[in-house]
Amino acid sequence: MAPTPNYKFLSTHDFENRVIEAQTPSVLVFGAKWSGNAEIIDSMVERVSAEHKDQIEFFKVDIEEQAEISKFFGVYSIPTIVMLKEGEVKEFIKGFISAPKLRKQLSEVLLSE
């Protein structure tokens, strides 16, 4: 799946600048090209990201291509979603999550004051 304006690939090169130092909350979705489960989550997150394009940055992280980022967060299974606010991990979700639950988590964890 190709990146979209609302859901971008994240590399080790721009990780610190775009996530850790960013003022905007971030959602990292860890997956791999060969994982059917990750593709299902990927599709759902792509739709949800369009709803929050001005409030949250959404990033795809391929665990094989960006192994350093995966190790930084201790991600060893996919799909995994990590939510960050002001560079701090606020939520760590392993496995499947429905779109309504993801929207609720985004609202409660990243968009609340």
CATH number of 7-100: 3.40.30.10
pTM attached to this predicted model: 0.91
pLDDT value, residue 112 = 80
Phi-psi region of 95 (alpha: psi -120 to 50; beta: other; left: phi over 0): left
Identify the DSSP state of 55: T
CA angle centred on 111, ends 10 and 71, rounded to 5°: 30
At residue 6 the predicted structure's pLDDT band, cuts being 50, 70 and 90, is confident
Query: What phi and psi values does residue 84 have, to the nearest 5 degrees?
Result: -125, 145
Average of per-residue pLDDT values in the chain? 90
The H or E element spanning position 67 is helix 67-73
Q: What residue spans define the domains of the chain? A: 7-100
- Here the tokens at position 78 are 């996919």
Over residues 7-62, the pLDDT tens digits come to 899 989 999 999 999 889 999 999 998 888 888 888 899 889 999 888 999 999 99
